[in-house]
A and B are shown apart, each in its own frame.
Chain A
Amino acid sequence: MNTILTISKREVTRLRSRFRGGSRLVVLLILAASFLIAYLAFRQGAFRGRGLYRVGVSPDVPPVCDSRFDSVTVAPSLGYSMVEAGQLDVYVDGARAIYSDEERSLYAAGALKLYLETQELARVGEEYETDRAFPLRVEIARFPVDSPSEDRETVVPSLMSPPLPFAHVISVSIYLLPIFFVSVFFISGFMDEKADRRITVLLSAPVSPFRIIVGKMLPYVLFTLISVVGITVVLRGNVLPALAIFTPVVLFTFAVYLMVPLVYRTFKDTTFISMFATTVITTYLIFPAMFSGVSDLSYISPLTLAVEMYRGQPFGLKAYLTSATSMYLVFVLSVYVGVRILNEEYLTRFRPLYKKIADAIYLTISRDHIYLSVTLLSAFLIPIVYMVQLVSLAISLNLPIRYAIVVVLLLSVVVEEIAKSVGIVVLIENNVARTARSIVGLSFLSALGFLVGEKLLLLVSVGVVSESAFSTAIFSSGMLLIPLAAHFVFTTIVCLLTKRLGVHRYPYVIAVGAVIHALYNLCVIGVFA
């Protein structure tokens, strides 16, 4: 513990020397100010664009107050001709709106109609008594018809706004900003040590790599957790649930960022890979949260829980575990891999990315417990497989739905097959797994680890994954023995083929395995039936 604290202190001192004296306060103030401005801008709808349309209003109409509209007040005679000349998209003359039949003008009219509708409702509500102005009430109830009346709510259709979680998601996204900003220093901490070869000195001292990693991570994790508390206090949330929600997020993010400087060497690589990591993490966290309250799939992201917290809805342990388990698992895996690869030879060796990753996996597998390592590796890779699958789902939605399903299906099996076979293939490459028999044995254990891990993850999750036939295929849930046999067969095929054809043909072999796996999945969902 003492060594960990010493390393933490060293890291803090290093950071303090970067910002000396008064500049430290200035930097903190600027940081807080920019977070605030970013927050305000996005809260107010920065994502809706600004000055998209140009509208004119007659003097008796109030100007349009919406950032999307540039509003000018002009006399009707001028207004009409400006619309004709295309200088205005829409002109509002009293109770009439004039627009041309150009596309731009029509879109502006469509957007303005929604805006004016809200204004009109406010006017009607003010000018008339409530019961006359809003003459329809709808009581929304759920089947069965005798459900308790306290679950019902009464709405006025025109005042009913879609339950968009946008504002809430944006509020809770502010939690991510400090994490991403601090990560610059965290990554640099390792980059610096590598560049100056100080890591060599550190590693030759009697300090375990585990302590170095934990020690260097500790100050940043503490800082981000403090910022979580700070943001929660400012947003008037509950501190304890917020900490519970964001601790896995913080750990997960640092787990990803730990890998970046350990694998990369040049500055540009590091910058862009960490940029890429930031993008993927943000997608993974925000995309599901946007569907909170609509689909249970949203529980994959902890931000959903934060949204619910700010909506005043309590969340259960199961919902928490659904999102948090994967994040904790990735953290454990990443720290473990970090511990195994934190040695001078690995850090300073310059090789292509895929070689670096293969080396890292090879170093991760314990030579004394090869079988156990391969089993556990498959199990621990599952959260990453899920993440890749989710992100590919989000992206492929851009394609027409028929292709999207095919693409997601294919990508899913490719990722799964890689996750199950990569450990074994690395062993083949390094001549550790030599006989066909040992490869078959390893394939079985890998399939077993994958399946058991998958089932355990499902056990702690909300009933998300087993909802549709589609996800049945993707996540191969269902019975136990047949999927085990299937996983085993696919992995064995991939590994034996790789052994025979050579490791450099691994990508082609994966393609073959994926096709077989995809055909199996199609059978399971009954496409051929």
Chain B
Amino acid sequence: MKAHAFFTIFKRELRSVVKERTILIAILIQLFIASFSSALLMGLMSVYDPEATSLSSMVNIEVGIVGETSGPLSDFLRARHARVIPFATLADAERAFYAREIAAAIFVPEEEGPVADIQLFLPESETSSTLTLMILREPLKQYENYLREQNDIHVRYRDIEGLPATTYEFQYGVIIPLLMFFPAFVTGGMVVDSISEELANRTLETLWSAPLSLSTILGAKIGSALFLAGGQCLLWSMLLRLNGIPIQNLGLVLLLAVISAAIVAVGAASIAVYFQDRERSQFVYALFILLSVSSSYFFDFSPIALLTRLATGGDWTSAAGVAAYAALLLALLTAFLSTSKRLIAAGN
């Protein structure tokens, strides 16, 4: 009887979500945020960090050089796919620049003293000068290190050959946590609305006076929202795989996402039951989300850090963290269900 009642309400909730197309909007929002942030990353990287993209090897720039025509600087530039064109005077280089033959010019005066002072002439337009500067940065740094070695100063760790990590960090540190936790925030919002709407329309009382316990009603509401959250997480994980971003420990990652969604949902339900009107509940709920997301940054054991670790794989990650959150959820759920009646009464 009890299970039957639970599923009746469970199905009713899902139906209303499908009917109102709420879930479509929610998915749209997430898709929007994810693609917006990756577009932002791509745009920023192509301007500020061309080394990290394949862009720097694609872009061939012509650099005019005045003074040193053969030497380490020219070699470093050539190694970076820059075409080095020697000029006798700066005036010649300037003419070549305005004839669009070169994108930038470097003036290397005769060496005097311990410091090499060189001049770099860039286009006036801010966009192209930023780009050119970012492409020239690496060869200039190599030249600087070459000069350092001449001074008998050795900079260590220069031989490490890793992969440029920006995209990787973004995918596993931002996109995956975002897509796995956003359904949780949506879930909370839905629980708040669903409960406060019933309280406002006084339909909860009707349901409650029928032979249904308050725990069954609230449990079914939370359950249906969780069902949707889990579905969304599964959907995102499949889409990510299609995009070539595999998630390691997928089962644990999904479990953690659903547990987090459940914790958020129980929190949201407590808020809604206590405040009883949508306005205050949504406000306090938004505050609760903002606080928990931003403060989680300061803890190594936060769900976000845990999820990132699980998703990148590695032997040292363990299920213990997930189990701890499951225990926390259980405690919160018990506390909530045993006090919800009193909370409703207190709110009134």
Q: How far is the CA of A112 from the CA of B156 in the complex (A)?
A: 12
Asked whether A104 lies within 8 Å of B144 as measured between CB atoms, the reply is no
CB-defined contacts of B20 to chain A, threshold 8 Å: 266, 268-269
CB-defined contacts of A275 to chain B, threshold 8 Å: 25-26, 29, 189
Contact of A398 among B39, B94, B151 (CB under 8 A): B39
Asked whether B295 lies within 8 Å of A37 as measured between CB atoms, the reply is yes
Asked whether A52 lies within 8 Å of B114 as measured between CB atoms, the reply is no
Asked whether B314 lies within 8 Å of A110 as measured between CB atoms, the reply is no
Q: Is A160 at the interface (CB under 8 A from chain B)? A: yes
Asked whether B48 lies within 8 Å of A164 as measured between CB atoms, the reply is yes
Q: How far is the CA of A157 from the CA of B190 in the complex (A)?
A: 52
Q: How far is the CA of A54 from the CA of B161 in the complex (A)?
A: 17
Asked whether B140 lies within 8 Å of A109 as measured between CB atoms, the reply is no
Contact with A along B119-131 (1 / 0, CB 8 A): 1111110110110
Asked whether A132 lies within 8 Å of B297 as measured between CB atoms, the reply is no
Asked whether B156 lies within 8 Å of A116 as measured between CB atoms, the reply is yes
Asked whether A108 lies within 8 Å of B308 as measured between CB atoms, the reply is no
Asked whether B162 lies within 8 Å of A109 as measured between CB atoms, the reply is yes
**A140-148, A418-426, A491-499, A507-515 - interface stretch:** A140-148
Asked whether B32 lies within 8 Å of A279 as measured between CB atoms, the reply is yes
Asked whether B283 lies within 8 Å of A140 as measured between CB atoms, the reply is no
Q: Is B173 at the interface (CB under 8 A from chain A)? A: yes
CB-defined contacts of B290 to chain A, threshold 8 Å: 34-35, 38, 177
Asked whether B42 lies within 8 Å of A397 as measured between CB atoms, the reply is yes
CB-defined contacts of B174 to chain A, threshold 8 Å: 47-49
CB-defined contacts of B309 to chain A, threshold 8 Å: 51-52
Asked whether A52 lies within 8 Å of B308 as measured between CB atoms, the reply is yes
Q: Is A470 at the interface (CB under 8 A from chain B)? A: no
Asked whether A131 lies within 8 Å of B114 as measured between CB atoms, the reply is yes
Contact of A44 among B38, B115, B287, B297 (CB under 8 A): B297
By beta carbon, the residue of chain B nearest A95 is B156
CB-defined contacts of A162 to chain B, threshold 8 Å: 48-49, 134
**A183-191, A366-374, A451-459 - interface stretch:** A183-191
By beta carbon, the residue of chain B nearest A121 is B155
User: Distance (Å) between the CB of A301 and the closest chain B CB?
Assistant: 13
Q: Is B168 at the interface (CB under 8 A from chain A)? A: yes
Q: Is B150 at the interface (CB under 8 A from chain A)? A: yes
CB-defined contacts of B127 to chain A, threshold 8 Å: 294-295
Asked whether B172 lies within 8 Å of A49 as measured between CB atoms, the reply is yes
Q: How far is the CA of A246 from the CA of B232 in the complex (A)?
A: 36
Asked whether B162 lies within 8 Å of A139 as measured between CB atoms, the reply is no
Q: Is A31 at the interface (CB under 8 A from chain B)? A: yes
By beta carbon, the residue of chain A nearest B196 is A267
Asked whether A268 lies within 8 Å of B194 as measured between CB atoms, the reply is yes
**B210-218, B256-264, B299-307, B324-332 - interface stretch:** B299-307
Q: Is A206 at the interface (CB under 8 A from chain B)? A: no
Contact of B118 among A113, A138, A191 (CB under 8 A): A138
Q: How far is the CA of A116 from the CA of B159 in the complex (A)?
A: 11
CB-defined contacts of B338 to chain A, threshold 8 Å: none
**B1-9, B234-242, B274-282, B339-347 - interface stretch:** B274-282
Asked whether B144 lies within 8 Å of A116 as measured between CB atoms, the reply is no
CB-defined contacts of A30 to chain B, threshold 8 Å: 287, 291
Contact of A46 among B153, B286, B294 (CB under 8 A): B294
Q: How far is the CA of A54 from the CA of B29 in the complex (A)?
A: 33
Asked whether A18 lies within 8 Å of B121 as measured between CB atoms, the reply is no
Q: Is A291 at the interface (CB under 8 A from chain B)? A: yes
CB-defined contacts of B119 to chain A, threshold 8 Å: 138-139, 141
CB-defined contacts of B98 to chain A, threshold 8 Å: 143
Q: Is B33 at the interface (CB under 8 A from chain A)? A: yes
By beta carbon, the residue of chain B nearest A36 is B294
CB-defined contacts of A35 to chain B, threshold 8 Å: 290
Contact with A along B194-222 (1 / 0, CB 8 A): 10110010000000000000000000000
Asked whether A133 lies within 8 Å of B32 as measured between CB atoms, the reply is no
**A83-91, A252-260, A325-333, A441-449 - interface stretch:** A83-91
Q: Is A70 at the interface (CB under 8 A from chain B)? A: yes
Asked whether B22 lies within 8 Å of A268 as measured between CB atoms, the reply is yes
Name the residue in B90, B153, B197 with the highest tally of chain A Cβ atoms < 10 Å from its Cβ. B153
Contact of A99 among B137, B162, B291 (CB under 8 A): B162
User: Distance (Å) between the CB of B192 and the closest chain A CB?
Assistant: 8
Q: Is B133 at the interface (CB under 8 A from chain A)? A: yes
User: Distance (Å) between the CB of A285 and the closest chain B CB?
Assistant: 12
User: Distance (Å) between the CB of B43 and the closest chain A CB?
Assistant: 6
Asked whether B165 lies within 8 Å of A291 as measured between CB atoms, the reply is no
Q: A279-B36, A398-B39 are in contact. List 8 more A-B contacts (CB 8 A).
A: A48-B174, A110-B164, A111-B162, A139-B118, A158-B145, A164-B44, A191-B278, A267-B193
Residues on A lying within 8 angstroms of B by beta carbon are: 18-19, 30-31, 33-35, 37-38, 40-42, 44, 46-52, 54, 67-68, 70, 85-87, 89, 92, 95, 97, 99, 103-104, 106-113, 116-117, 120-121, 124, 128, 131-145, 156-158, 160, 162-164, 166, 177, 181, 184-185, 188, 191-192, 195, 266-269, 271-273, 275-276, 279-280, 283, 286-287, 290-291, 293-295, 394-398
Residues on B lying within 8 angstroms of A by beta carbon are: 16-17, 20, 22, 25-26, 28-29, 32-33, 35-36, 38-40, 42-44, 47-49, 90-91, 93-94, 97-98, 105, 113-124, 126-127, 129-130, 133-134, 137, 140-141, 143-145, 147-148, 150-151, 153, 155-158, 160-165, 168-169, 172-174, 177, 189-190, 192-194, 196-197, 200, 277-280, 282-283, 286-287, 290-291, 293-295, 297-298, 300, 302, 304-305, 308-309, 312-316
Q: What would 17 A/B residue contacts be, using CB atoms closer than 8 Å? A: A46-B297, A49-B173, A51-B300, A52-B173, A52-B312, A104-B313, A107-B169, A135-B116, A137-B115, A137-B117, A141-B122, A145-B105, A158-B141, A266-B20, A272-B26, A275-B29, A295-B127
